[in-house]
Amino acid sequence: MKLTCYALHEFAPKLVAAHPQRQWMDDFPDRHPYRCLPLSIANAHGWDVLCPYPIEIEWNGGPSISDLVVRALKPPPDGQQLEQLCRSNFSRGVVTFHLDYLFKTEPGWDLLATGPFNRPKDNVAPLTGIMESDWLPYPFTMNWQVLRPGRVVFEEDEPFCFIFPIQKQALLECEPEIRLLADDPELSRQHEEFRVARDGFMQKFNAGDADTIKQAWQRYYFVGRHPDGTEAKSHLNKLRLKEPVDRRSKPAIAPAPAATIAVPKWSAESPLNAMEQKQTERNEEGRRRISADGRIADWRDIRIVRNSEDADYCDFVVIDNLLSAAECESLCQAFQDMSDRMFNSNEIDPYWNNRLIWYADIAATRPADGEIMIRAQRYAIKSMLEFYQITAPIYADLLQLVKWQTGMFMRPHADNANPDGSAHRMAHRELSGVVYLNDDYEGGELYFTALDIAIKPKRGMFVGMTAGFHHEHGVLRVGSGTRLTMPFFLTFDPACADRGLIEQA
Q: What is the pLDDT of residues 293-345, one digit of tens each?
A: 999 989 988 999 999 999 988 999 999 999 999 999 999 999 999 988 888 87
In DSSP terms, which residues pair with 485 in a beta bridge?
A: 402, 436
Whether 158 contacts 50, CB under 8 Å = yes
320 and 379 inside one domain: yes
Closest-CA residue to 294 (of 71, 474, 485) = 474
Would you call 363 exposed, middle or buried from its count of C-beta atoms within 10 A (0-12, 13-18, 19+)? buried
Answer yes or no: is pLDDT of 425 > 50.
yes
123 occurs within a structural domain? yes
**Could you tell me the end-to-end alpha-carbon distance of the chain, in angstroms, rounded to an integer?**
26
76 occurs within a structural domain? yes
Q: Which domain holds residue 212?
A: 182-223
What confidence score (pLDDT) does residue 256 get? 47
Answer yes or no: is pLDDT of 346 > 70.
no
- Coil, strand, or helix at residue 225? strand
332 vs 438: CA distance, rounded Å = 8
Whether 361 contacts 350, CB under 8 Å = no
Band (422; pLDDT cuts 50, 70, 90): confident
259 occurs within a structural domain? no
258 occurs within a structural domain? no
DSSP 8-state class, residue 33: G
Answer yes or no: is pLDDT of 138 > 90.
no
Answer yes or no: is pLDDT of 115 > 80.
yes
Of 184 and 80, which is predicted with more confidence?
184
Whether 377 contacts 489, CB under 8 Å = no
- Using a pLDDT cut of 70, give the percent of the chain over it: 93
CATH of the domain at 19: 2.70.40.10
What confidence score (pLDDT) does residue 332 get? 97
342 and 376 inside one domain: yes
412 vs 48: CA distance, rounded Å = 49
CATH of the domain at 305: 2.60.120.620
Look up the pTM and report it.
0.52
137 and 118 inside one domain: yes
When pLDDT is averaged across residues 476-488 and rounded to a whole number, the result is 97
Closest-CA residue to 144 (of 130, 161, 119) = 161
Of 353 and 143, which is predicted with more confidence?
143
Answer yes or no: is pLDDT of 361 > 60.
yes
218 and 360 inside one domain: no
CA dihedral 372, 374, 378, 380 (to 10 degrees): 60
167 and 191 inside one domain: no
Residue 69: CA atoms inside 13 Å, Cβ hemisphere, count?
Answer: 8
168 and 196 inside one domain: no
C-alpha separations of 248 from 10, 102, 263 in Å: 9, 14, 16
What confidence score (pLDDT) does residue 78 get? 73
DSSP 8-state class, residue 65: G
88 and 198 inside one domain: no
Answer yes or no: is pLDDT of 504 > 70.
no
Closest-CA residue to 21 (of 115, 153, 165, 118) = 118
189 and 117 inside one domain: no
269 vs 263: CA distance, rounded Å = 15
Band (122; pLDDT cuts 50, 70, 90): very high
133 occurs within a structural domain? yes
311 occurs within a structural domain? yes
What confidence score (pLDDT) does residue 260 get? 47
210 and 278 inside one domain: no
Cβ neighbours of 26 (radius 10 Å): 10
In DSSP terms, which residues pair with 429 in a beta bridge?
A: 491
Pairing between β-strand 442-443 and β-strand 478-480 as defined by DSSP bridges: antiparallel
57 occurs within a structural domain? yes
Helix (H) or strand (E) holding 465: strand 462-466
When pLDDT is averaged across residues 12-27 and rounded to a whole number, the result is 91
Q: What is the pLDDT of residues 60-97, one digit of tens each?
A: 999 998 899 999 999 888 767 888 899 988 889 999 99
The arrangement of strands across the sheet holding 15-17 comes to 15-17, 47-50, 159-167, 109-114, 129-131
CB within 8 Å of 360: residues ≥ 6 apart? 65, 89, 500
94 and 203 inside one domain: no
Number of structural domains (the chain) is 3
What confidence score (pLDDT) does residue 347 get? 59
C-alpha separations of 221 from 38, 140, 229, 236, 242 in Å: 10, 37, 11, 10, 25
138 and 214 inside one domain: no
Answer yes or no: is pLDDT of 10 > 90.
no
Among 173, 208, 235, the domain boundary falls at 173
205 vs 211: CA distance, rounded Å = 9
What confidence score (pLDDT) does residue 73 get? 94
When pLDDT is averaged across residues 145-157 and rounded to a whole number, the result is 96
Low-confidence winner among 16-30, 60-74, 142-156, 251-265 (lowest mean pLDDT): 251-265
Answer yes or no: is pLDDT of 112 > 90.
yes
213 and 138 inside one domain: no
Q: What is the pLDDT of residues 242-291, one digit of tens each?
A: 888 888 776 544 454 544 455 689 998 899 988 888 899 999 999 999 99
What confidence score (pLDDT) does residue 505 get? 47
51 occurs within a structural domain? yes
